[in-house]
Chain A
Amino acid sequence: MNTSAHSLTAAPGARPERRRSLAVCGLIGVAVMAALDEIVFHQILGWHHFYDRSTPGVGLMSDGLLHTAELLGLVAGFFLYADLRRRRALAPAHAWAGFFLGLGLFQLFDGVVDHKLLRLHQIRYGVDVTPYDWAWNIAALILLLIGAALAVRASRHTEAGSAS
Chain B
Amino acid sequence: MTPGHVHPGAVAGLGPAEVAVAVAALFAATVYMVGSRRLRRRGDLWPRWRDASFSVGGAGVVWAATGPLPGGPYTAHMVQHLIVGMAAPLLLVLARPLTLALRTLAPGPARRGLLALSRSRPVRWLVFPPSAALLDIGGLWLLYRTPLFATIRHEPWPHALVHAHVLAAGLLFSFAVCQLDPVRRRWGVGVRGVTLLAVGAAHGVLAKTLYAVPPPGTAFSPADLRTGAQVMYYGGDLVEAALAAVVSASWYQATGRTQQRLRRRPDASLRRRGAMAAASRAE
A interface, CB within 8 angstroms of B = 1, 15, 19, 50-51, 53, 60-61, 63-65, 67-69, 71-72, 74-76, 78-79, 82-83, 86-87
Query: Once the chains bind, are B245 and A75 in contact (CB under 8 Å)?
Result: yes
Closest residue of A by beta carbon distance from B277: A15
Q: What are 13 A-B pairs with beta-carbon distances under 8 A? A: A50-B211, A50-B226, A60-B208, A61-B205, A63-B208, A64-B200, A72-B193, A72-B200, A75-B244, A78-B248, A79-B248, A82-B252, A83-B252
Of the residues A1, A51, A68, A75, contact of B201 by C-beta under 8 Å: A68
Residue numbers in B under 8 Å from A69 (CB-CB): 197, 201
Residue numbers in B under 8 Å from A72 (CB-CB): 193, 196-197, 200, 240, 244
Is B249 located at the chain interface by the 8 A CB criterion?
A: yes
Query: Once the chains bind, are B201 and A65 in contact (CB under 8 Å)?
Result: yes
The SS class assigned to the B binding surface is helix
Query: Once the chains bind, are A64 and B201 in contact (CB under 8 Å)?
Result: yes
Interface centre among A63, A68, A75, A78 (most CB of B within 10 A): A68
Query: Once the chains bind, are A68 and B248 in contact (CB under 8 Å)?
Result: no
Query: Once the chains bind, are B209 and A60 in contact (CB under 8 Å)?
Result: yes
Residue numbers in B under 8 Å from A51 (CB-CB): 208, 211-212
Given contact pairs A50-B230, A51-B211, A60-B209, A68 touches B252 in the complex (Cβ within 8 A): no
Residue numbers in B under 8 Å from A71 (CB-CB): 200, 237, 240-241, 244
Residues 222-265 (chain B) with a chain A CB within 8 angstroms: 226, 230, 233, 237, 240-241, 244-245, 248-249, 251-252, 255-256, 259
Closest residue of B by beta carbon distance from A75: B244
Of the residues A19, A53, A65, contact of B197 by C-beta under 8 Å: A65
Expressed in whole angstroms, the Cα–Cα distance for A63 and B209 within the complex equals 12
Query: Once the chains bind, are B233 and A60 in contact (CB under 8 Å)?
Result: no
Of the residues B233, B248, B280, contact of A75 by C-beta under 8 Å: B248
Closest residue of B by beta carbon distance from A86: B256
Residues 173-228 (chain B) with a chain A CB within 8 angstroms: 193, 196-197, 200-202, 204-205, 208-209, 211-212, 226
Give the size of the chain B interface in residues (CB under 8 angstroms): 30
Residue numbers in A under 8 Å from B249 (CB-CB): 79
Residue numbers in A under 8 Å from B273 (CB-CB): 15
Residue numbers in A under 8 Å from B211 (CB-CB): 50-51
Is B283 located at the chain interface by the 8 A CB criterion?
A: yes
The SS class assigned to the A binding surface is helix
Expressed in whole angstroms, the Cα–Cα distance for A75 and B280 within the complex equals 27
Residue numbers in A under 8 Å from B193 (CB-CB): 72, 76
Closest residue of B by beta carbon distance from A55: B208
Residue numbers in A under 8 Å from B245 (CB-CB): 75
Expressed in whole angstroms, the Cα–Cα distance for A164 and B280 within the complex equals 20
Closest residue of A by beta carbon distance from B210: A51
Residues 125-161 (chain B) with a chain A CB within 8 angstroms: none
Residue numbers in B under 8 Å from A67 (CB-CB): 200-201, 204, 237
Query: Once the chains bind, are B252 and A79 in contact (CB under 8 Å)?
Result: yes
Residue numbers in A under 8 Å from B240 (CB-CB): 68, 71-72
Closest residue of B by beta carbon distance from A43: B234
Of the residues B233, B244, B280, contact of A76 by C-beta under 8 Å: B244
Query: Once the chains bind, are B208 and A75 in contact (CB under 8 Å)?
Result: no
Query: Once the chains bind, are A61 and B252 in contact (CB under 8 Å)?
Result: no
Expressed in whole angstroms, the Cα–Cα distance for A79 and B254 within the complex equals 12
Expressed in whole angstroms, the Cα–Cα distance for A53 and B211 within the complex equals 10
Residue numbers in B under 8 Å from A68 (CB-CB): 197, 200-201, 204, 240
Residue numbers in B under 8 Å from A19 (CB-CB): 280, 283
Residue numbers in A under 8 Å from B230 (CB-CB): 50
Of the residues B209, B226, B259, contact of A87 by C-beta under 8 Å: B259
Closest residue of A by beta carbon distance from B236: A68
Query: Once the chains bind, are A64 and B283 in contact (CB under 8 Å)?
Result: no
Expressed in whole angstroms, the Cα–Cα distance for A65 and B194 within the complex equals 11
Least Cβ–Cβ distance between A148 and chain B, in angstroms: 20
Expressed in whole angstroms, the Cα–Cα distance for A69 and B200 within the complex equals 9
Residue numbers in B under 8 Å from A65 (CB-CB): 197, 201
Expressed in whole angstroms, the Cα–Cα distance for A19 and B280 within the complex equals 9
Least Cβ–Cβ distance between B200 and chain A, in angstroms: 3
Least Cβ–Cβ distance between A89 and chain B, in angstroms: 10
